[in-house]
Amino acid sequence: MNAITTYGANMTAAIRTSLMDRTNFILNSFGMVLNDIFFLLLWYMFFAGFRQVGGWGLHDVALLLGLIMLVVSISGVFFGGYRDMAATILRGEIDALLTQPKGVLLRLLARESIATAWGDLVMGIWMLITFAALSWSELPLVLLALVCGTTIYLSCAIAYASLAFWFAGARSFARDLTDFMLLFSSYPGSIFSGMTKVIAYTLLPAGFIVLTPVALLRAPTLASFAILIGATLGYASIAALLFHLGLRRYRQGLVPTG
């Protein structure tokens, strides 16, 4: 409870900091809204001509995009420190956290709140309400999808960043992997086959962040529910293990600098 309370206080301070420069905040948020509108417009024009792609229609793609926008926005607003965690580790900025009460990972996540994420938050909610063809009765499943998708997305980002405990090149490598994971999560599952499908369900788990949640919302089954819960627990466990193994190395002075 003390760790959660501390996280809440740090996160509140990070959000307030991101709101201090109102002009910068508005420009960043509005810029992201325009980017999301442009992306949706491209898909709208595509489906105006082709109707479907591998069984995916406009409503399905809107559901996928709405989910990934909300996953990224929740992560950015409330856990924004994940974005530069590898750099934070390599610069030795977690030294101060080691002298404070436990909860190093939560403190790292609460270091920053990303202003552009608010634009994704607005667009994600709007897209689910207007284009995704959802009913209010599906709200519990939507919330479950967001909790699981956000957990998996953050877990992978933390796992990538934890590589900084082992080698200095992880600073850019972790960002690249996170960006590729986001890219994979922005396209219909029907485009993945062969090795790309394997990657989408392992290293860059778009399959569990958005594709399985979309399948669960469109045709709920016990199997898809169990797969989503299992994947969430699995990726969260891997992230926690890698981070704490790396933190042990850090305490021993074995971490590279960058």
Closest C-alpha to 165, from 256, 227, 56: 256
Distance CA 8, CA 211 (A): 31
11's tokens: 């996160």
pLDDT tens sequence across 58-100? 899 999 999 999 999 999 999 999 999 999 999 888 888 888 7
Q: How many domains does the chain have?
A: 1
DSSP reduced 3-state for 84? helix
Query: Residues 217-240: what's their mean pLDDT?
Result: 96
Handedness of CA 103, 143, 220, 203 (dihedral sign): negative
Domain annotation covers residue 257:
no
pLDDT tens sequence across 187-216? 998 889 899 999 999 999 999 999 999 999
Domain annotation covers residue 156:
yes
φ, ψ dihedrals at 211, nearest 5°: -70, -45
Q: Taking the complete model, does pTM exceed 0.85, yes or no?
A: yes
| pLDDT reported for residue 252 | 86
| pLDDT reported for residue 101 | 67
Contact at 8 Å (CB) between 87 and 120?
A: no
Domain annotation covers residue 120:
yes
Tell me the residue range of the domain where 213 lies: 2-251
| pLDDT reported for residue 109 | 95
Confidence of residue 1 (pLDDT cuts 50, 70, 90): low
Domain annotation covers residue 195:
yes
Distance CA 200, CA 195 (A): 9
Domain annotation covers residue 256:
no
pLDDT tens sequence across 92-140? 888 888 887 678 999 999 999 999 999 999 999 999 999 999 999 999 9
